Amino acid sequence: MFENLPQLIVLFVVIIDPMASFAVFAVATDPMKEGERRRTALLAITVAAVLCFLVLVLGERLLSLFNTDMDNFRVAGGIILLIFGVQMSLGMSLVHVEEKEGSSTAAIASLIATPLMTGPATISTIIIAEHDYGMGCTGLAIVIVLAFSAGLLLLSAKISKKIGKTPIQVMSTIMGLITLAWGVMFIRDGLGF
């Protein structure tokens, strides 16, 4: 049942992209005090987790509600992954964060939670992975990746001081290429090639 867990963990690391969330979070929370930064990180992870698990539990029923099927959703999800992968590979900003004094904890947390962590690509991937690999394996992969993401966000101030911006940009480019490959695979599977 869990033989595909490593593959799903890699997939969700690529799709949820903890490094992109970390980079945005580090910039957006830079002026905050440690306690406020911690609250913001925990709120972002909580919102992302709730969204992920709602999609995990209700996923295919949502497809029925909107009168579509898994193959159509695979192709649509693959297209989203292609766009997402191109943006990441070319270093395009997925979101625009303005550094403003008094940015609220809730606003930054919601930005990190969605669209960064649980945007359309993540939602598509959860529905497809649950269908292909089951709820248990998919859920465990999501928990592991969100726990890793939480660690990065909670340690963002210390990590960003030590590594700088260049390694984050390199990792985002590599993750973008992997995302492109997954997008192609989803489209091919949806079209039956």
Query: Mean pLDDT by 10-residue block, N- to C-terminus, for the chain (193 residues)?
Result: 91 88 77 88 95 89 77 80 79 52 69 79 89 94 97 87 74 76 84 86
C-alpha 112, offset from chain centre = 9
Say if pTM beats, i.e. exceeds, 0.75: no
What's the rounded Cα separation, in Å, for the pair 11 and 17?
Answer: 9
DSSP count for the chain of H helices, then E strands: 9, 0
